[in-house]
Amino acid sequence: MKQHHLTPEFQAGQEAFWLKQAGNLSWKTPPQTAIRPTPNGFYEWFPDGITNICHLALDVHVANGRGEQTALIFDSPVSNTKRRFTFRELLAEVQKVAAALRNSGVEKGDRVVLYLPPVPEAAICMLACARVGAIHSVVFGGFAPHELAIRIDDAKPKLIITASCGIEVDKVIPYKPMVDEAISQSLFPPAQVVVIQREQHKAVLSSDTDLDYAAWISNEGDGACEWMNSTDPLYILYTSGTTGKPKGIVRDHGGYAVALKFSFDEIYGSKPGDTFWAASDVGWVVGHSYMVYGPLIQGCTTVLYEGKPVRTPDPGAFWRMIEEYKIQSLFVAPTAIRAIRKEDEHGNHIRKYDISSLKTLFLAGERCDPSTWHWIHEQLGIPVLDHWWQTETGWPIASPVIAPGEKYSMVPGSAGVPVPGYQVEILSHDGQPLIPLQEGFISIKLPLPPGCMPGLYEDEERFFSSYLETYPGYYQTGDGGYFDEEGHLFIMGRTDDVINVSGHRLSTGEMEEIVATHPNVAECAVIGMADELRGQVPLAFVVIKDGNIVSEEQLERDLTDLIRKQIGAMACFRLVLKVQRLPKTRSGKILRRILRSLTDGEHYVIPSTIDDPAILAEIHELLKIRKIGKAFQVLSIES
């Protein structure tokens, strides 16, 4: 049994604070208790409250006179499609899907997997699942069949809703064959597959279990809202783990809704009626929190965009959107800004459009380097707020501003200051608090605030071992960093082997498992190498089996194909370096952190436990010859 951490100080302050925030929402049964310990040693928020997050996002606004306000804008330059839904129209569509789910036998607690591009039906189906009490699990449409199969087997969904295709710039990607392949690999295939047919590619419905979405929602049925306990699960969102097996992050109805409402009031500063655009994908946590649930709960107009920051058709794509829809707040990953800068260094496309409506630019998903921050800040002349949070928390941990109208604390390279509800500390290897400017493990003192995950789906042991056991009494974020002397938090990168490629968290451990299946590979290590455009990209160090002859070019082609098939193109895997051996400790542990530092041209210390220091010089020379990374810029080495 784990120790509870509901101290008297917490009970006196935070409990009253969060009950006050909960009062800003419309509950069927308002909570009287803020937080309660659970039998497994964790806790739950607003356990006596009854609500439904779909009701909060739609029904409340229709009832309160916002029915004719635009709730959702869909803009797809890749399919030349634009659509708008008022709150009343969106509610009607959600009710149709809710009825169809019930007609298909989906009940409270059942799981539904959504394998969809960022189209209106994605948000509609998410809200409909919430409405009937089903637990949705959105899987990014770019994931390969193998990855989808893993998630199917973990969630065991009653049905899958997919689209006939996705569109990547000018490339149409059929989804149905990938779904079929995933189901063929699955031990727990769903009873039905519902397919949204798109004009760009029509899927072949090949069996009695395949249903056409338009026909599926055409029958009448019960679209009423199922009242849920605040603690009932809303969704499962899988994120890469260090073992290759994804972790199913669970989110609840009540605590999540309270946190999202609070974040709009006190962090994003958006008011009901404002247009808020999170340029992400429904498959990621930003899509859940700030494309679908958060803006709608706040009464904002939200935007779904099926396109890229460049090439759809040019680096003016985002600025065209802002002018056309009078967007006040834009939330993007720094990768998008770097892509725009790469093609429009002087900001010529920015000046083609009237973007005077834009008041704030929010950056998250990965660390924003100061160079990128300065560039976009100079181009736009508005507050650029880099902030930090995780799939596990569901909403910001740190932000440069904690209330509308307060002075912005814009420090390039910093994620701001901890948001109310998060007690962030920097801990040393042995769990001792560090002073400002000392880099260590970013940890959050328990309990976490509402909206954060209450656990992993059907994996309590992994939840505790992954997040809570390293430093008792703390949630371990897996990120390293430090506070400066003014209290600004700086995030320096992951402390495990999960890398961040264009905002997508991917497991290098899983990549290593795939690389190791190549018949010529004896041993390998995959690290995340710093990349100006994507934040990080994978780099594989590969030892070839004795006697095998394969060129580096052929090996790169083979391994790139393997990763694309098993994980997907978003991994951006294309760099392989053949080495004679890997740096290891005497006990056989590969020194991945040293490899990262060496590749990125950073200072590093040669550990006393290394079995052969000479291998580092050999790898350093190979990196320089291939001109990979910044190995030629190594600042200093200590023995």
E strand residue ranges, 287-338: 301-305, 329-332
The answer, yes or no, to whether residue 480 has pLDDT greater than 90, is no
- Are residues 144 and 568 in contact, defined by beta-carbon separation less than 8 angstroms? yes
Residue 357 lies in a domain: no
Q: How many CA atoms lie within 13 A of 504 on its CB side?
A: 23
Q: How far apart are CA 448 and CA 250, in angstroms?
A: 14
pLDDT band at 522 (very low <50, low <70, confident <90, very high): confident
Give the model confidence (pLDDT) of 169-228 as tens digits: 889 999 999 999 999 999 999 999 999 999 999 999 987 899 999 999 999 999 999 999
Residue 368 lies in a domain: no
Q: Tell me, yes or no, whether 246 and 136 share the same domain.
A: yes
pLDDT at residue 2, as a whole number:
30
Q: How far apart are CA 414 and CA 486, in angstroms?
A: 11
* 342 CB-near residues (< 8 Å, 6+ apart): 310, 533
Mean per-residue pLDDT, 58-84: 98
Region of poorest pLDDT, from 181-190, 260-269, 486-495, 603-612: 603-612
Report whether the peptide linkage leading into residue 246 is cis, meaning its omega lies within 30 degrees of zero. Answer: no
The answer, yes or no, to whether residue 563 has pLDDT greater than 50, is yes
Q: How far apart are CA 379 and CA 446, in angstroms?
A: 40
Q: Tell me, yes or no, whether 124 and 248 share the same domain.
A: yes
The answer, yes or no, to whether residue 587 has pLDDT greater than 70, is no
Q: Tell me, yes or no, whether 25 and 108 share the same domain.
A: no
Q: How far apart are CA 453 and CA 252, in angstroms?
A: 8
Q: Interior CA angle at 87 toward 81 and 88, to 5°?
A: 105
Residue 160 lies in a domain: yes
Q: Tell me, yes or no, whether 140 and 35 share the same domain.
A: no
Residue 539 lies in a domain: yes
Q: How far apart are CA 236 and CA 109, in angstroms?
A: 12
Residue 266 lies in a domain: yes
- Are residues 376 and 355 in contact, defined by beta-carbon separation less than 8 angstroms? no
Give the model confidence (pLDDT) of 137-171 as tens digits: 999 887 889 989 999 999 999 999 999 999 988 89
Q: Tell me the CA end-to-end span of the chain in Å, nearest whole number.
A: 44
Q: How far apart are CA 146 and CA 149, in angstroms?
A: 5
* 88 CB-near residues (< 8 Å, 6+ apart): 62, 67, 68
The answer, yes or no, to whether residue 633 has pLDDT greater than 90, is no
pLDDT at residue 623, as a whole number:
93
Residue 553 lies in a domain: yes
Give the model confidence (pLDDT) of 315-364 as tens digits: 999 999 999 999 999 999 888 898 898 889 899 999 999 999 999 999 99
Average pLDDT, rounded, for the chain: 91
Q: How far apart are CA 447 and CA 18, in angstroms?
A: 13
Which helix (H) or strand (E) is 476 found in, with range?
A: strand 474-483
Most distant CA pair in the chain: distance in Å? 75
Q: Tell me, yes or no, whether 41 and 160 share the same domain.
A: no
pLDDT at residue 184, as a whole number:
96
Helix (H/G/I), strand (E/B), else coil: 346: coil
Q: Tell me, yes or no, whether 17 and 109 share the same domain.
A: no
Which helix (H) or strand (E) is 13 found in, with range?
A: helix 8-22
Q: How far apart are CA 101 and CA 107, in angstroms?
A: 8
Q: How far apart are CA 87 and CA 95, in angstroms?
A: 12
Q: With helix as H, strand as E and coil as C, how does 210-257 read?
A: EEEHHHHCCCCCCCCCCCEECCCEEEEEEECCCCCCCEEEEEECHHHH
Rounded-to-10 torsion of CA 455, 476, 527, 520: -50
pLDDT at residue 173, as a whole number:
94
Structure tokens at 311: 């090439």
pLDDT at residue 89, as a whole number:
98
pLDDT at residue 606, as a whole number:
80
Residue 394 lies in a domain: no
* 589 CB-near residues (< 8 Å, 6+ apart): none
pLDDT band at 243 (very low <50, low <70, confident <90, very high): low
Q: Are strands 50-51 and 228-229 parallel, antiparallel or unpaired?
A: antiparallel
The answer, yes or no, to whether residue 523 has pLDDT greater than 90, is no
Q: Which residues are paired to 418 by β-bridges?
A: 398
pLDDT at residue 546, as a whole number:
79
Share of the chain above pLDDT 70, in %: 93
pLDDT band at 405 (very low <50, low <70, confident <90, very high): low
What order do you get walking across the sheet with 384-386 strand by strand? 81-86, 70-76, 301-305, 275-278, 329-332, 360-363, 384-386
Mean per-residue pLDDT, 238-246: 71
Residue 630 lies in a domain: yes
Q: Which of 502, 422, 427, 504 is nearest to 472 (CA)?
A: 427
Is residue 181 classed exposed, middle or buried when 0-12, 13-18 and 19+ CB atoms within 10 A define those classes?
middle
CATH for 248 = 3.40.50.12780
Is residue 525 classed exposed, middle or buried when 0-12, 13-18 and 19+ CB atoms within 10 A define those classes?
buried
Q: Which residues are paired to 195 by β-bridges?
A: 162, 212
Q: Tell me, yes or no, whether 137 and 230 share the same domain.
A: yes
The residue with tokens 């003192």 is 445
Share of the chain above pLDDT 90, in %: 71
Give the model confidence (pLDDT) of 369-387 as tens digits: 788 899 999 999 999 999 9
pLDDT at residue 35, as a whole number:
95
Mean per-residue pLDDT, 496-514: 80
Give the model confidence (pLDDT) of 430-467 as tens digits: 999 999 999 889 999 999 999 999 999 999 999 999 99
Distances (CA, A) of 431 to 79, 434, 444: 52, 9, 12
Is residue 636 classed exposed, middle or buried when 0-12, 13-18 and 19+ CB atoms within 10 A define those classes?
exposed
Q: Tell me, yes or no, whether 149 and 212 share the same domain.
A: yes
Q: How far apart are CA 599 and CA 594, in angstroms?
A: 8
Q: Tell me, yes or no, whether 144 and 237 share the same domain.
A: yes
Alpha helix stretches (DSSP H) within 536-600: 552-566, 592-599
Q: Tell me, yes or no, whether 506 and 552 share the same domain.
A: yes
Range of the domain at 90: 86-272+279-293
Q: Tell me, yes or no, whether 41 and 120 share the same domain.
A: no
The answer, yes or no, to whether residue 8 has pLDDT greater than 60, is no
Q: Which of 193, 106, 187 is nearest to 151 (CA)?
A: 187
Give the model confidence (pLDDT) of 256-279 as tens digits: 999 999 999 999 999 999 999 999
**Residue 595 or residue 208, greater confidence:** 595
Mean per-residue pLDDT, 275-301: 96
The answer, yes or no, to whether residue 388 has pLDDT greater than 50, is yes
For the chain, what is the domain count? Answer: 3
Structure tokens at 338: 């770097």
Q: Tell me, yes or no, whether 186 and 45 share the same domain.
A: no
pTM of the model: 0.87
pLDDT band at 637 (very low <50, low <70, confident <90, very high): low
